Amino acid sequence: MKLLNALLVQSGDCVAFVGGGGKTAAIFRLASELQSSGQRVIITTTTRMALDEMRRIPAALAVGSPAVFPADLDAELDRARVLFLYSHAQAQKVVGLSPAEIHSLAQHFKVPPTIL
């Protein structure tokens, strides 16, 4: 069974993963399934993720930069289909976005992406 069917994920949903293990693998599996079904997907973290893990995603942007605008994110998401967004890198980890930042960014997309 596909994870997207088991979780009943719809386009535009925001899905949070919590727990003691397997979160990153589940996120990447779900992102792949969603991408294969034609959906656009944003992956982020509200904590930290290892830089090596983030590099498994073909497109990543630091949104802490004032040079990044919502229209740029939308265009990049159209191109890449899966996009990892983070605030900044620190000590071999990327620092994610706050829930408020995620909510604010989601309001700017022409077609709401699924957020993991």
pLDDT band for position 67 (cuts 50, 70, 90): low
Percent of the chain scored above 90 by pLDDT? 24
Report the DSSP beta bridge partners of residue 95. 48, 88
Written as one string, the DSSP assignment of 52-87 is: HHHTTSS-EEETTSTT--HHHHHHHHHHHSEEEEES
Taking the mean position of all CA atoms in its chain, how far away is CA 14?
A: 10
pTM of the predicted model as reported, rounded to 2 decimal places: 0.86
Q: Is the pLDDT of residue 64 over 70?
A: no
- The SS3 assignment for 99 reads helix
> pLDDT tens digits for 29-59?
999 999 999 999 999 888 888 888 887 887 8
